[in-house]
Amino acid sequence: MWRGPRTLIWLLPPPFDAPPLRAYLMEKPLRIRRNPMALLPILTLPDPRLREISKAVEKVDGEIHRLLDDMLETMYDAPGVGLAAIQVGHAKRIVVIDIAKDDQPKAPLFLINPEITWVSEELGVYREGCLSVPEYFEEVQRPARVRFRHLDRDGVLREAEADGLLATVVQHELDHLEGGLFIDHLSRLKRERVVKKFTKAARLEARSSERETEDVDA
């Protein structure tokens, strides 16, 4: 006897690979609640937020984990080797770094409330760039080795020493937490030139998006 479509639906077997709902909820509650990682927009020069001083993280909780994951994905996508939270508009003392080369396995570093505790007298030079100053590179001289302290992703206090590229990236990213940019290490002439160039480009872009808005409204 025909009992209507509802009964028919109940008679169908569940989709082949669907686990029983109850078991799935108990085993993987996080995967159900969590949204997928998101790419965050990166602030660029001359955005004034890049000059803000970031605040210490008080508690490493789910919200901080979410930000760390989103920052990491944003950095890999850019691509870059380091990203500070202020570069994506969060004035928190958080940095993600991964200096692994393309053919090496990923090796992300999560630095929460990082502090440099020692720098070498010996200096090193790298040609630096920054996701917030896109497509501009200049040589910067910094201490060749640093020791630094930070909370890791689990909120555990760690101390590490770095040299080479990692030493430079750590110093570059920690500058961001104080509202610093690598161009602050350049001569005044070079710095003013690049700030002017980016300010002009931002003005032109604002004007052209205003025009687009007018077109849409018309």
Kindly list the catalytic residues.
173
Q: How many residues bind Zn ion (CB under 5 A)?
A: 1
How far is Cα 190 from Cα 138, in angstroms, rounded to an integer?
A: 9
**Residue number, 191 or 212, with CB nearest to Zn ion:** 191
Q: Among 97, 99, 101, which Cα is nearest to 110's?
A: 97
130 binds Zn ion (CB under 5 A): yes
Q: Smallest gap, in angstroms, from Cβ of residue 175 to Zn ion?
A: 8
> What is the rounded CA–CA span in Å between residue 24 and residue 20?
6
Please, are residues 204 and 212 in contact by the beta-carbon 8 Å criterion? no
Taking the complex as a whole, the smallest distance from the CB of residue 45 to Zn ion amounts, in Å, to 10
What is the Cα–Cα distance from 193 to 189, expressed in whole angstroms? 6
Residues 6+ apart with CB under 8 A from 110: 68, 72, 94, 95, 96, 152, 153
- Distance (Å, rounded) from C-alpha 153 to C-alpha 76? 18
Minimal CB distance residue for Zn ion: 130
- Cβ of residue 124: shortest distance to Zn ion, in angstroms? 17
Q: Is the dihedral of CA 49, 124, 146, 150 positive or negative?
A: positive
Between residues 57 and 130, which has the closer beta carbon with respect to Zn ion?
130
Residue 132 CB, nearest approach to Zn ion (Å): 5
Among 217, 61, 9, 44, smallest CA distance to 136 is for: 44
Contact region with Zn ion (CB under 5 A), list: 11-19, 41-49, 102-110, 122-130:
122-130
* Residue 170 is a binding residue for Zn ion (CB under 5 A): no
3-state secondary structure of 150: strand
* 71 scored as a contact of Zn ion (CB under 5 A): no
Give min distance, CB of 129 to Zn ion, in A: 8
Q: Which is nearer to Zn ion, 9 or 180 (CB)?
A: 180
In this complex, which beta carbon is closest to Zn ion, that of residue 57 or of residue 131?
131
Residue range at the interface with Zn ion (CB under 5 A); choices 14-22, 127-135, 152-160, 163-171:
127-135
Range in contact with Zn ion (rule: CB under 5 A) among 1-9, 38-46, 130-138, 145-153: 130-138
Site for Zn ion, rule CB under 5 A? 130
